[in-house]
A and B are shown apart, each in its own frame.
Chain A
Protein backbone atom coordinates (compact mmCIF):
# COMPACT_ATOMS: atom_id res chain seq x y z
CA UNK A 1 0.00 0.00 0.00
CA UNK A 2 0.97 3.58 -0.44
CA UNK A 3 2.59 5.37 2.43
CA UNK A 4 0.52 8.05 4.09
CA UNK A 5 1.05 11.15 2.03
CA UNK A 6 1.64 14.55 3.46
CA UNK A 7 -2.03 15.31 2.92
CA UNK A 8 -2.92 12.68 5.49
CA UNK A 9 -3.56 13.36 9.11
CA UNK A 10 -1.16 13.01 11.99
CA UNK A 11 1.51 10.36 11.85
CA UNK A 12 1.17 7.07 13.62
CA UNK A 13 -1.29 4.28 13.18
CA UNK A 14 -4.78 5.13 12.07
CA UNK A 15 -7.58 4.48 14.56
CA UNK A 16 -9.94 3.56 11.76
CA UNK A 17 -8.43 2.05 8.67
CA UNK A 18 -10.76 1.37 5.78
CA UNK A 19 -8.97 -0.48 3.01
CA UNK A 20 -10.13 -0.65 -0.60
CA UNK A 21 -13.78 -0.91 0.24
CA UNK A 22 -16.04 -1.95 -2.62
CA UNK A 23 -19.78 -2.08 -2.01
CA UNK A 24 -22.60 -3.10 -4.30
CA UNK A 25 -26.31 -2.38 -4.01
CA UNK A 26 -27.52 -5.36 -6.02
CA UNK A 27 -25.96 -4.94 -9.44
CA UNK A 28 -25.06 -1.35 -8.86
CA UNK A 29 -21.59 -0.56 -7.63
CA UNK A 30 -21.93 2.08 -4.96
CA UNK A 31 -18.30 2.29 -3.84
CA UNK A 32 -15.17 1.44 -5.76
CA UNK A 33 -12.08 0.64 -3.67
CA UNK A 34 -12.40 3.45 -1.21
CA UNK A 35 -9.72 3.80 1.44
CA UNK A 36 -10.09 5.97 4.48
CA UNK A 37 -7.59 6.44 7.27
CA UNK A 38 -8.80 8.27 10.30
CA UNK A 39 -6.19 9.15 12.93
CA UNK A 40 -6.98 9.70 16.61
CA UNK A 41 -8.43 13.10 17.35
CA UNK A 42 -9.19 13.89 13.74
CA UNK A 43 -12.37 15.26 12.23
CA UNK A 44 -12.46 13.49 8.93
CA UNK A 45 -15.12 14.77 6.55
CA UNK A 46 -16.43 12.92 3.56
CA UNK A 47 -18.07 15.25 1.09
CA UNK A 48 -19.74 14.71 -2.23
CA UNK A 49 -22.94 15.20 -4.14
CA UNK A 50 -26.12 13.17 -3.75
CA UNK A 51 -25.51 9.58 -4.70
CA UNK A 52 -21.74 9.83 -4.44
CA UNK A 53 -21.74 6.95 -1.97
CA UNK A 54 -21.00 8.91 1.20
CA UNK A 55 -23.74 7.41 3.31
CA UNK A 56 -23.08 3.96 1.88
CA UNK A 57 -19.47 4.30 3.01
CA UNK A 58 -20.49 5.29 6.51
CA UNK A 59 -23.15 2.59 6.75
CA UNK A 60 -20.65 -0.01 5.62
CA UNK A 61 -18.17 1.13 8.24
CA UNK A 62 -20.95 0.87 10.84
CA UNK A 63 -21.76 -2.63 9.61
CA UNK A 64 -25.18 -2.02 8.09
CA UNK A 65 -23.92 -3.06 4.64
CA UNK A 66 -21.54 -5.85 3.88
CA UNK A 67 -18.79 -4.90 1.42
CA UNK A 68 -18.06 -7.00 -1.66
CA UNK A 69 -14.37 -6.45 -1.07
CA UNK A 70 -12.10 -4.60 1.28
CA UNK A 71 -11.65 -4.34 5.03
CA UNK A 72 -12.67 -2.21 7.95
CA UNK A 73 -10.02 -2.19 10.66
CA UNK A 74 -10.52 -0.55 14.04
CA UNK A 75 -7.27 0.01 15.92
CA UNK A 76 -5.62 -3.01 14.36
CA UNK A 77 -8.63 -5.30 14.69
CA UNK A 78 -10.41 -6.46 11.56
CA UNK A 79 -14.12 -5.80 12.17
CA UNK A 80 -15.29 -6.34 8.57
CA UNK A 81 -17.40 -9.38 9.46
CA UNK A 82 -18.76 -7.99 12.72
CA UNK A 83 -22.42 -7.17 13.01
CA UNK A 84 -23.35 -3.53 13.63
CA UNK A 85 -24.14 -4.13 17.30
CA UNK A 86 -20.74 -5.70 17.89
CA UNK A 87 -18.97 -2.81 16.15
CA UNK A 88 -20.93 -0.38 18.29
CA UNK A 89 -19.76 -2.16 21.43
CA UNK A 90 -16.18 -2.02 20.10
CA UNK A 91 -16.45 1.72 19.65
CA UNK A 92 -17.71 2.45 16.13
CA UNK A 93 -20.92 4.32 16.86
CA UNK A 94 -23.00 6.02 14.21
CA UNK A 95 -25.53 8.82 14.37
CA UNK A 96 -27.67 7.71 11.44
CA UNK A 97 -29.09 9.90 8.74
CA UNK A 98 -32.48 11.29 9.66
CA UNK A 99 -31.82 11.07 13.44
CA UNK A 100 -33.70 7.78 13.87
CA UNK A 101 -34.58 8.30 17.52
CA UNK A 102 -36.77 5.76 19.27
CA UNK A 103 -39.85 7.87 18.87
CA UNK A 104 -42.12 6.28 21.45
CA UNK A 105 -39.38 6.52 24.08
CA UNK A 106 -38.62 9.58 26.14
CA UNK A 107 -35.46 11.61 25.69
CA UNK A 108 -33.92 10.00 28.74
CA UNK A 109 -34.89 6.51 27.63
CA UNK A 110 -33.23 7.14 24.28
CA UNK A 111 -30.05 8.04 26.13
CA UNK A 112 -30.40 5.00 28.39
CA UNK A 113 -30.65 2.71 25.37
CA UNK A 114 -27.49 4.32 24.02
CA UNK A 115 -25.75 3.72 27.35
CA UNK A 116 -26.87 0.08 27.70
CA UNK A 117 -23.81 -1.38 25.98
CA UNK A 118 -21.50 1.55 26.58
CA UNK A 119 -17.76 1.26 26.84
CA UNK A 120 -16.02 2.91 29.75
CA UNK A 121 -15.31 6.54 29.12
CA UNK A 122 -16.00 10.14 29.93
CA UNK A 123 -19.57 10.30 28.61
CA UNK A 124 -22.52 9.66 30.86
CA UNK A 125 -26.14 10.71 30.62
CA UNK A 126 -25.36 13.31 33.25
CA UNK A 127 -22.55 14.71 31.14
CA UNK A 128 -24.83 14.91 28.12
CA UNK A 129 -27.27 16.94 30.23
CA UNK A 130 -24.44 19.23 31.26
CA UNK A 131 -23.33 19.69 27.67
CA UNK A 132 -26.81 20.27 26.26
CA UNK A 133 -28.53 21.94 29.16
CA UNK A 134 -32.03 22.17 27.67
CA UNK A 135 -32.22 18.38 27.57
CA UNK A 136 -32.44 17.83 31.30
CA UNK A 137 -35.68 19.78 31.61
CA UNK A 138 -37.23 17.87 28.77
CA UNK A 139 -35.90 14.43 29.53
CA UNK A 140 -39.35 12.99 30.16
CA UNK A 141 -40.72 14.25 26.86
CA UNK A 142 -41.35 11.80 24.07
CA UNK A 143 -38.67 11.96 21.39
CA UNK A 144 -41.26 12.32 18.63
CA UNK A 145 -42.39 15.63 20.12
CA UNK A 146 -39.00 17.33 19.75
CA UNK A 147 -38.04 19.62 16.89
CA UNK A 148 -35.66 18.37 14.23
CA UNK A 149 -32.65 20.11 15.70
CA UNK A 150 -33.45 18.85 19.18
CA UNK A 151 -33.87 15.33 17.86
CA UNK A 152 -30.50 15.57 16.15
CA UNK A 153 -28.90 16.67 19.41
CA UNK A 154 -30.50 13.78 21.30
CA UNK A 155 -29.30 11.41 18.57
CA UNK A 156 -25.77 12.73 19.08
CA UNK A 157 -26.19 12.37 22.85
CA UNK A 158 -27.40 8.80 22.41
CA UNK A 159 -24.24 8.01 20.46
CA UNK A 160 -21.95 9.85 22.90
CA UNK A 161 -23.10 7.93 25.97
CA UNK A 162 -21.85 4.76 24.28
CA UNK A 163 -18.37 6.32 24.57
CA UNK A 164 -17.40 5.72 20.97
CA UNK A 165 -13.81 5.67 19.82
CA UNK A 166 -14.90 6.76 16.37
CA UNK A 167 -18.11 8.72 16.08
CA UNK A 168 -19.75 8.48 12.67
CA UNK A 169 -22.03 11.38 11.84
CA UNK A 170 -24.23 10.88 8.80
CA UNK A 171 -25.62 14.08 7.25
CA UNK A 172 -26.25 16.04 10.43
CA UNK A 173 -27.56 18.97 8.39
CA UNK A 174 -30.22 17.01 6.54
CA UNK A 175 -33.61 18.67 6.83
CA UNK A 176 -32.47 21.24 9.39
CA UNK A 177 -32.43 25.02 9.15
CA UNK A 178 -28.93 26.44 8.50
CA UNK A 179 -28.87 28.26 11.84
CA UNK A 180 -29.67 25.00 13.63
CA UNK A 181 -26.97 23.19 11.70
CA UNK A 182 -24.44 25.83 12.70
CA UNK A 183 -25.45 25.52 16.32
CA UNK A 184 -24.97 21.75 16.20
CA UNK A 185 -21.59 21.98 14.53
CA UNK A 186 -20.55 24.64 17.02
CA UNK A 187 -20.77 21.97 19.74
CA UNK A 188 -18.26 19.77 17.95
CA UNK A 189 -15.10 21.20 19.59
CA UNK A 190 -16.62 20.59 23.00
CA UNK A 191 -17.27 16.97 22.04
CA UNK A 192 -13.80 16.54 20.61
CA UNK A 193 -12.25 17.70 23.87
CA UNK A 194 -13.20 14.36 25.38
CA UNK A 195 -10.81 12.57 23.06
CA UNK A 196 -13.21 11.51 20.37
CA UNK A 197 -12.41 10.91 16.75
CA UNK A 198 -15.06 11.91 14.24
CA UNK A 199 -15.79 10.66 10.76
CA UNK A 200 -18.58 12.65 9.20
CA UNK A 201 -20.49 12.76 5.97
CA UNK A 202 -21.75 16.13 4.90
CA UNK A 203 -23.42 17.53 1.83
CA UNK A 204 -22.92 21.07 3.09
CA UNK A 205 -19.34 21.54 1.90
CA UNK A 206 -18.68 24.89 3.54
CA UNK A 207 -19.75 23.45 6.87
CA UNK A 208 -17.49 20.45 6.37
CA UNK A 209 -14.52 22.63 5.41
CA UNK A 210 -15.04 24.67 8.53
CA UNK A 211 -14.88 21.80 11.01
CA UNK A 212 -12.77 19.16 9.32
CA UNK A 213 -9.09 18.44 9.74
CA UNK A 214 -9.17 16.28 6.64
CA UNK A 215 -11.57 16.18 3.71
CA UNK A 216 -12.22 13.35 1.33
CA UNK A 217 -14.39 13.96 -1.71
CA UNK A 218 -16.35 11.19 -3.38
CA UNK A 219 -17.87 11.22 -6.82
CA UNK A 220 -19.91 8.29 -8.09
CA UNK A 221 -18.30 5.94 -5.63
CA UNK A 222 -14.70 6.97 -6.27
CA UNK A 223 -12.26 9.25 -4.52
CA UNK A 224 -11.66 12.52 -6.33
CA UNK A 225 -9.86 14.51 -3.68
CA UNK A 226 -8.17 14.04 -0.33
CA UNK A 227 -6.62 16.97 1.46
CA UNK A 228 -6.45 19.21 4.47
CA UNK A 229 -9.01 21.98 4.10
CA UNK A 230 -6.31 24.64 4.36
CA UNK A 231 -4.41 23.19 1.43
CA UNK A 232 -7.14 23.27 -1.16
CA UNK A 233 -8.85 26.07 -3.00
CA UNK A 234 -12.57 26.37 -3.40
CA UNK A 235 -12.13 25.67 -7.10
CA UNK A 236 -10.32 22.43 -6.44
CA UNK A 237 -13.04 21.24 -4.10
CA UNK A 238 -15.66 22.29 -6.60
CA UNK A 239 -13.92 20.41 -9.38
CA UNK A 240 -13.69 17.27 -7.26
CA UNK A 241 -17.28 17.64 -6.09
CA UNK A 242 -18.80 17.96 -9.54
CA UNK A 243 -16.25 15.91 -11.44
CA UNK A 244 -15.01 18.81 -13.52
CA UNK A 245 -11.62 18.31 -15.11
CA UNK A 246 -9.37 20.31 -17.35
CA UNK A 247 -10.09 24.00 -17.73
CA UNK A 248 -11.80 24.26 -14.40
CA UNK A 249 -8.58 23.35 -12.64
CA UNK A 250 -7.13 26.52 -11.21
CA UNK A 251 -3.46 25.82 -11.51
CA UNK A 252 -1.21 23.91 -13.84
CA UNK A 253 -0.73 20.31 -12.89
CA UNK A 254 -3.95 20.32 -10.87
CA UNK A 255 -5.77 17.09 -11.42
CA UNK A 256 -8.43 17.42 -8.83
CA UNK A 257 -11.19 15.97 -10.95
CA UNK A 258 -9.00 13.44 -12.66
CA UNK A 259 -8.01 10.53 -10.40
CA UNK A 260 -11.01 8.50 -11.39
CA UNK A 261 -8.79 5.60 -12.25
CA UNK A 262 -9.78 3.81 -9.10
CA UNK A 263 -6.75 4.73 -7.08
CA UNK A 264 -8.13 5.98 -3.85
CA UNK A 265 -4.80 6.76 -2.29
CA UNK A 266 -2.70 9.59 -3.65
CA UNK A 267 0.24 8.24 -5.52
CA UNK A 268 3.77 9.17 -4.70
CA UNK A 269 4.14 11.52 -7.66
CA UNK A 270 1.03 13.56 -7.10
CA UNK A 271 2.67 16.01 -4.80
CA UNK A 272 1.17 18.98 -6.54
CA UNK A 273 -2.26 17.99 -5.37
CA UNK A 274 -1.19 17.74 -1.78
CA UNK A 275 1.19 20.59 -1.27
CA UNK A 276 3.37 20.11 1.75
Chain B
Protein backbone atom coordinates (compact mmCIF):
# COMPACT_ATOMS: atom_id res chain seq x y z
CA UNK B 1 0.00 0.00 0.00
CA UNK B 2 2.91 2.33 0.58
CA UNK B 3 3.73 1.94 -3.11
CA UNK B 4 0.20 2.82 -4.15
CA UNK B 5 0.43 5.85 -1.92
CA UNK B 6 3.72 6.84 -3.55
CA UNK B 7 2.18 6.61 -6.99
CA UNK B 8 -0.88 8.65 -5.97
CA UNK B 9 1.32 11.31 -4.39
CA UNK B 10 3.46 11.31 -7.51
CA UNK B 11 0.49 11.84 -9.78
CA UNK B 12 -0.78 14.71 -7.66
CA UNK B 13 2.66 16.33 -7.56
CA UNK B 14 2.57 16.12 -11.35
CA UNK B 15 -0.14 18.78 -11.28
CA UNK B 16 2.24 21.18 -9.54
CA UNK B 17 4.95 20.39 -12.08
CA UNK B 18 2.49 20.97 -14.92
CA UNK B 19 1.83 24.44 -13.52
CA UNK B 20 5.59 25.05 -13.59
CA UNK B 21 5.91 23.65 -17.09
CA UNK B 22 2.95 24.71 -19.21
CA UNK B 23 4.06 28.33 -19.56
CA UNK B 24 7.59 27.28 -20.46
CA UNK B 25 6.15 24.94 -23.07
CA UNK B 26 3.80 27.61 -24.43
CA UNK B 27 6.59 30.16 -24.88
CA UNK B 28 8.78 27.60 -26.55
CA UNK B 29 5.98 26.36 -28.79
CA UNK B 30 4.92 29.81 -29.94
CA UNK B 31 8.16 31.78 -30.19
CA UNK B 32 10.92 29.22 -29.74
CA UNK B 33 12.07 31.00 -26.61
CA UNK B 34 13.39 28.91 -23.73
CA UNK B 35 12.78 31.33 -20.91
CA UNK B 36 15.51 30.59 -18.37
CA UNK B 37 13.99 33.15 -16.01
CA UNK B 38 10.72 31.22 -15.95
CA UNK B 39 11.28 29.73 -12.50
CA UNK B 40 12.58 32.97 -11.00
CA UNK B 41 9.47 34.75 -12.21
CA UNK B 42 7.41 32.10 -10.39
CA UNK B 43 9.34 32.94 -7.22
CA UNK B 44 8.71 36.64 -7.84
CA UNK B 45 5.00 35.84 -8.07
CA UNK B 46 5.22 33.98 -4.76
CA UNK B 47 7.02 36.87 -3.09
CA UNK B 48 4.48 39.36 -4.40
CA UNK B 49 1.74 37.16 -2.92
CA UNK B 50 3.58 37.03 0.40
CA UNK B 51 3.96 40.81 0.32
CA UNK B 52 0.29 41.37 -0.47
CA UNK B 53 -0.81 39.02 2.29
CA UNK B 54 1.59 40.65 4.75
CA UNK B 55 0.52 44.20 3.98
CA UNK B 56 -3.21 43.84 3.36
CA UNK B 57 -3.99 40.68 5.33
CA UNK B 58 -6.22 39.43 2.52
CA UNK B 59 -6.86 35.69 2.49
CA UNK B 60 -4.26 33.69 0.60
CA UNK B 61 -6.61 32.81 -2.24
CA UNK B 62 -7.44 36.48 -2.80
CA UNK B 63 -3.80 37.19 -3.43
CA UNK B 64 -3.96 34.83 -6.40
CA UNK B 65 -6.56 37.06 -8.01
CA UNK B 66 -4.18 40.00 -7.75
CA UNK B 67 -0.87 38.29 -8.48
CA UNK B 68 -1.86 36.42 -11.64
CA UNK B 69 -2.88 39.57 -13.58
CA UNK B 70 0.25 41.37 -12.33
CA UNK B 71 2.47 38.57 -13.61
CA UNK B 72 0.56 38.42 -16.88
CA UNK B 73 1.19 42.12 -17.36
CA UNK B 74 4.87 41.65 -16.50
CA UNK B 75 4.94 38.83 -19.05
CA UNK B 76 3.51 41.02 -21.79
CA UNK B 77 5.88 43.91 -21.08
CA UNK B 78 8.91 41.64 -20.74
CA UNK B 79 8.14 40.07 -24.11
CA UNK B 80 7.59 43.36 -25.90
CA UNK B 81 10.84 44.81 -24.53
CA UNK B 82 13.67 42.55 -23.39
CA UNK B 83 12.75 39.25 -25.03
CA UNK B 84 11.57 40.67 -28.36
CA UNK B 85 14.72 42.71 -28.82
CA UNK B 86 16.70 39.55 -28.12
CA UNK B 87 14.53 37.59 -30.55
CA UNK B 88 15.24 40.15 -33.26
CA UNK B 89 18.90 39.24 -32.93
CA UNK B 90 18.27 35.49 -33.12
CA UNK B 91 16.77 32.74 -31.02
CA UNK B 92 20.10 31.96 -29.35
CA UNK B 93 20.31 35.49 -27.98
CA UNK B 94 17.11 34.87 -26.02
CA UNK B 95 18.91 32.15 -24.05
CA UNK B 96 21.60 34.60 -22.99
CA UNK B 97 19.16 37.39 -22.24
CA UNK B 98 16.78 35.24 -20.20
CA UNK B 99 19.75 33.75 -18.33
CA UNK B 100 20.80 37.32 -17.52
CA UNK B 101 17.26 38.09 -16.42
CA UNK B 102 17.30 35.00 -14.21
CA UNK B 103 20.55 36.06 -12.53
CA UNK B 104 19.31 39.59 -11.95
CA UNK B 105 16.04 38.40 -10.40
CA UNK B 106 17.70 35.80 -8.21
CA UNK B 107 20.35 38.17 -6.88
CA UNK B 108 17.84 40.97 -6.55
CA UNK B 109 15.64 38.74 -4.38
CA UNK B 110 18.67 37.71 -2.30
CA UNK B 111 19.62 41.34 -1.84
CA UNK B 112 16.22 42.57 -0.75
CA UNK B 113 14.64 39.55 0.90
CA UNK B 114 17.71 37.59 2.10
CA UNK B 115 18.19 33.87 1.59
CA UNK B 116 15.55 32.97 4.20
CA UNK B 117 12.88 30.58 3.08
CA UNK B 118 9.31 31.81 3.18
CA UNK B 119 6.06 29.93 3.05
CA UNK B 120 2.60 31.02 2.06
CA UNK B 121 -0.46 30.56 4.19
CA UNK B 122 0.76 28.79 7.33
CA UNK B 123 -1.97 27.55 9.61
CA UNK B 124 -4.59 27.04 6.95
CA UNK B 125 -6.39 23.73 7.04
CA UNK B 126 -6.07 23.65 3.25
CA UNK B 127 -2.30 23.50 3.62
CA UNK B 128 -2.08 20.95 6.39
CA UNK B 129 -5.32 19.00 6.12
CA UNK B 130 -5.67 15.63 4.52
CA UNK B 131 -8.03 12.70 4.24
CA UNK B 132 -7.41 9.00 4.41
CA UNK B 133 -8.26 6.77 1.50
CA UNK B 134 -7.06 3.50 2.90
CA UNK B 135 -4.27 2.07 4.98
CA UNK B 136 -1.19 4.17 4.43
CA UNK B 137 -2.90 6.27 1.76
CA UNK B 138 -3.32 9.83 2.89
CA UNK B 139 -4.14 12.56 0.44
CA UNK B 140 -3.45 16.20 1.26
CA UNK B 141 -6.16 18.68 0.38
CA UNK B 142 -3.57 21.11 -0.91
CA UNK B 143 -2.00 18.78 -3.43
CA UNK B 144 -5.43 17.73 -4.61
CA UNK B 145 -6.47 21.35 -5.09
CA UNK B 146 -3.22 22.13 -6.93
CA UNK B 147 -3.80 19.17 -9.22
CA UNK B 148 -7.34 20.34 -9.93
CA UNK B 149 -6.09 23.86 -10.61
CA UNK B 150 -3.49 22.48 -13.03
CA UNK B 151 -6.11 20.52 -14.94
CA UNK B 152 -8.37 23.58 -14.99
CA UNK B 153 -5.52 25.76 -16.26
CA UNK B 154 -4.69 23.31 -19.04
CA UNK B 155 -8.36 23.02 -20.00
CA UNK B 156 -8.64 26.80 -19.99
CA UNK B 157 -5.54 27.20 -22.12
CA UNK B 158 -6.77 24.58 -24.55
CA UNK B 159 -10.16 26.25 -24.78
CA UNK B 160 -8.54 29.64 -25.28
CA UNK B 161 -6.09 28.43 -27.91
CA UNK B 162 -8.64 26.52 -29.94
CA UNK B 163 -11.67 28.74 -29.57
CA UNK B 164 -10.74 32.37 -29.21
CA UNK B 165 -9.53 34.93 -31.71
CA UNK B 166 -6.21 35.46 -29.97
CA UNK B 167 -5.78 31.74 -29.39
CA UNK B 168 -6.12 31.20 -33.11
CA UNK B 169 -3.64 33.98 -33.80
CA UNK B 170 -1.19 32.45 -31.31
CA UNK B 171 -1.32 29.14 -33.18
CA UNK B 172 -1.10 30.89 -36.55
CA UNK B 173 1.94 32.89 -35.48
CA UNK B 174 3.54 29.73 -34.10
CA UNK B 175 3.06 28.08 -37.50
CA UNK B 176 4.29 30.95 -39.66
CA UNK B 177 4.73 34.43 -38.28
CA UNK B 178 5.43 36.01 -41.66
CA UNK B 179 2.22 34.63 -43.14
CA UNK B 180 0.43 35.94 -40.05
CA UNK B 181 1.85 39.38 -40.70
CA UNK B 182 0.52 39.21 -44.24
CA UNK B 183 -2.89 38.54 -42.72
CA UNK B 184 -2.57 41.75 -40.72
CA UNK B 185 -1.48 40.25 -37.39
CA UNK B 186 1.22 41.99 -35.39
CA UNK B 187 3.14 38.96 -34.21
CA UNK B 188 4.93 40.93 -31.48
CA UNK B 189 1.60 41.68 -29.85
CA UNK B 190 0.59 38.03 -30.21
CA UNK B 191 3.89 36.95 -28.65
CA UNK B 192 3.17 39.34 -25.81
CA UNK B 193 -0.19 37.71 -25.18
CA UNK B 194 1.38 34.25 -25.20
CA UNK B 195 3.96 35.45 -22.66
CA UNK B 196 1.22 36.94 -20.51
CA UNK B 197 -0.49 33.54 -20.46
CA UNK B 198 2.81 31.83 -19.68
CA UNK B 199 3.61 34.03 -16.71
CA UNK B 200 0.03 33.98 -15.48
CA UNK B 201 0.22 30.19 -15.25
CA UNK B 202 3.65 30.10 -13.65
CA UNK B 203 2.47 32.65 -11.10
CA UNK B 204 -0.01 30.01 -9.98
CA UNK B 205 2.87 27.54 -9.90
CA UNK B 206 4.98 29.85 -7.74
CA UNK B 207 2.18 30.48 -5.24
CA UNK B 208 1.28 26.78 -5.16
CA UNK B 209 4.89 25.87 -4.49
CA UNK B 210 5.06 28.47 -1.73
CA UNK B 211 2.11 26.74 -0.06
CA UNK B 212 3.19 23.17 -0.74
CA UNK B 213 6.84 23.67 0.19
CA UNK B 214 8.54 27.02 0.65
CA UNK B 215 10.17 29.69 -1.46
CA UNK B 216 13.64 31.13 -1.40
CA UNK B 217 15.49 33.16 -4.01
CA UNK B 218 17.25 30.15 -5.52
CA UNK B 219 14.17 27.93 -5.76
CA UNK B 220 13.40 29.45 -9.15
CA UNK B 221 16.26 27.82 -11.00
CA UNK B 222 17.12 24.99 -8.60
CA UNK B 223 13.64 23.55 -8.50
CA UNK B 224 10.94 25.23 -10.53
CA UNK B 225 12.80 25.80 -13.82
CA UNK B 226 14.54 22.45 -13.66
CA UNK B 227 11.37 20.46 -12.93
CA UNK B 228 9.49 22.47 -15.55
CA UNK B 229 12.17 21.71 -18.09
CA UNK B 230 12.16 18.00 -17.26
CA UNK B 231 8.35 17.85 -17.48
CA UNK B 232 8.35 19.64 -20.84
CA UNK B 233 10.98 17.33 -22.30
CA UNK B 234 9.33 14.16 -21.02
CA UNK B 235 5.92 15.29 -22.23
CA UNK B 236 7.09 16.55 -25.60
CA UNK B 237 8.22 20.05 -26.57
CA UNK B 238 5.42 22.49 -27.24
CA UNK B 239 2.65 20.14 -26.11
CA UNK B 240 0.33 21.48 -23.40
CA UNK B 241 -1.18 18.25 -22.08
CA UNK B 242 2.27 16.75 -22.45
CA UNK B 243 3.37 18.95 -19.56
CA UNK B 244 0.83 17.25 -17.29
CA UNK B 245 1.91 13.82 -18.46
CA UNK B 246 5.56 14.81 -18.12
CA UNK B 247 4.86 16.28 -14.69
CA UNK B 248 3.09 13.10 -13.57
CA UNK B 249 5.90 10.87 -14.85
CA UNK B 250 8.43 13.04 -13.03
CA UNK B 251 6.35 13.12 -9.85
CA UNK B 252 5.74 9.37 -9.80
CA UNK B 253 9.43 8.66 -10.48
CA UNK B 254 10.42 10.90 -7.59
CA UNK B 255 7.94 9.36 -5.18
CA UNK B 256 8.95 5.83 -6.11
CA UNK B 257 12.59 6.84 -5.74
CA UNK B 258 11.82 8.24 -2.32
CA UNK B 259 10.04 5.01 -1.42
CA UNK B 260 13.18 3.05 -2.18
CA UNK B 261 15.39 5.45 -0.34
CA UNK B 262 14.45 8.95 0.70
CA UNK B 263 17.70 10.33 -0.72
CA UNK B 264 16.92 8.88 -4.14
CA UNK B 265 13.88 11.11 -4.67
CA UNK B 266 15.41 13.77 -6.92
CA UNK B 267 17.85 11.39 -8.58
CA UNK B 268 15.05 9.06 -9.70
CA UNK B 269 13.30 11.92 -11.49
CA UNK B 270 16.42 12.77 -13.43
CA UNK B 271 17.09 9.14 -14.34
CA UNK B 272 13.65 8.94 -15.95
CA UNK B 273 14.35 12.26 -17.68
CA UNK B 274 17.59 10.90 -19.08
CA UNK B 275 15.92 7.68 -20.15
CA UNK B 276 13.24 9.60 -22.06
CA UNK B 277 15.87 11.81 -23.69
CA UNK B 278 17.77 8.76 -24.88
CA UNK B 279 14.88 6.49 -25.84
CA UNK B 280 12.25 8.97 -26.97
CA UNK B 281 13.80 12.39 -27.44
CA UNK B 282 10.66 13.74 -29.09
CA UNK B 283 8.75 13.23 -25.82
CA UNK B 284 5.90 10.94 -24.83
CA UNK B 285 3.03 12.81 -26.48
CA UNK B 286 4.68 13.32 -29.85
CA UNK B 287 2.36 12.47 -32.72
CA UNK B 288 3.49 14.08 -35.93
CA UNK B 289 6.14 16.41 -37.25
CA UNK B 290 5.67 19.86 -35.82
CA UNK B 291 7.68 22.80 -36.98
Contact = CB atoms under 8 A, between A and B. Distances in A.
B171 interface: yes
A144 B272 CA distance: 34
A104 interface: yes
Given A104-B171, A105-B168, A117 B185 contact: yes
Q: Which secondary structure dominates chain B's binding surface?
A: helix
A100 interface: yes
B30 to A, nearest CB: 12
B260 interface: no
A102 B185 contact: no
Interface of B: 165, 168-169, 171-172, 174-176, 178-187, 290-291
Nearest to A119: B184
A116 B175 contact: no
Contacts of A113: 168-169, 172, 180, 183, 185
Interface string A106-144: 000110111011100000000000000000000000000
A116 B186 contact: no
Contact of A96 (B175, B178, B184, B186): B178
B176 A102 contact: yes
B179 A116 contact: no
A89 B184 contact: yes
Contacts of B169: 113, 116
A116 B178 contact: no
A165 interface: no
A93 B184 CA distance: 8
Contacts of B172: 102, 105, 109-110, 113
25 contacts: A64-B178, A85-B182, A85-B184, A85-B185, A88-B183, A93-B182, A93-B184, A94-B182, A96-B178, A96-B179, A101-B176, A101-B179, A102-B172, A102-B175, A103-B176, A105-B172, A105-B175, A109-B171, A109-B172, A110-B172, A113-B169, A113-B180, A116-B168, A116-B185, A162-B183
A105 B181 contact: no
Count chain A CB atoms within 10 A of each CB in B165, B183, B184 and give the residue with the most: B183
B180 to A, nearest CB: 7
A105 B291 CA distance: 13
A112 B181 contact: no
A189 to B, nearest CB: 24
B265 to A, nearest CB: 38
Contacts of A88: 181-184
B178 A114 contact: no
Nearest to B174: A104
In the A-B complex, the 6 residue pairs with the closest CB atoms = A117-B184, A88-B184, A100-B179, A102-B175, A84-B181, A102-B172
Contact of A104 (B180, B185, B186, B290): B290
A268 to B, nearest CB: 38
Given A96-B178, A100-B178, A117 B183 contact: yes
Given A113-B168, A116-B165, A100 B176 contact: yes
Count chain B CB atoms within 10 A of each CB in A93, A113, A114 and give the residue with the most: A113
Contact of B183 (A63, A64, A114): A114
A101 B179 CA distance: 7
Nearest to A100: B179
A83 interface: yes
A110 B179 CA distance: 10
Interface in A42-99: 62-64, 83-85, 88-89, 93-94, 96
